[in-house]
């Protein structure tokens, strides 16, 4: 069964939507994931953690690397709604809504 996965690339403040976990893993380079730049969320906005079964590795000269192999598992931390709310606050896009108000507005009560 396919289910949406959201990947938030923190360094670019960019949110990507994928139609499956497999799509998200294929679309998000392991080295960037290992560096902690991506935050992942399930279709309801709950956090997902990247778990590496094969770690990212670099050649001796440091010029090439292997992306490793990772999967996404139920995680902990901020929800997608909280992350987006913080982004909006930083950008000055939201100045009156609380997280609870945003959740109510989007029907996430």
The yes-or-no verdict on residue 20 having pLDDT over 90 is yes
The yes-or-no verdict on residue 1 having pLDDT over 60 is no
User: Nearest to residue 34, comparing CAs of 50, 22, 13, 47?
Assistant: 50
> Which pLDDT value is given to residue 91?
77
> Which pLDDT value is given to residue 12?
92
> Which pLDDT value is given to residue 62?
78
49 Rama sector, left if φ>0, alpha if ψ -120 to 50, beta otherwise: beta
What is the pLDDT confidence band of residue 64, given thresholds at 50, 70 and 90? confident
Calpha distance 18→73 (Å, rounded) = 16
What is the pLDDT confidence band of residue 97, given thresholds at 50, 70 and 90? low
User: Nearest to residue 5, comparing CAs of 40, 36, 54, 51?
Assistant: 40
How is residue 50 written in tokens? Answer: 């990247």
């Amino acid at each position: 069964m396919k289910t949406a996965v959201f990947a938030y690339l923190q360094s670019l403040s960019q949110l990507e939507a994928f139609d499956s976990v497999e799509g998200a893993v294929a679309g998000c380079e392991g080295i960037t994931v290992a560096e902690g730049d991506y935050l992942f969320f399930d279709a309801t906005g709950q956090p997902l953690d990247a778990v590496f079964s094969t770690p990212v590795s670099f050649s001796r000269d440091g010029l090439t690397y292997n992306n490793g192999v990772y999967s996404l598992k139920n995680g902990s931390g901020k929800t997608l709604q909280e992350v987006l709310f913080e982004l909006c606050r930083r950008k000055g896009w939201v100045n009156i809504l609380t997280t609870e108000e945003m959740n109510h507005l989007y029907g996430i009560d």
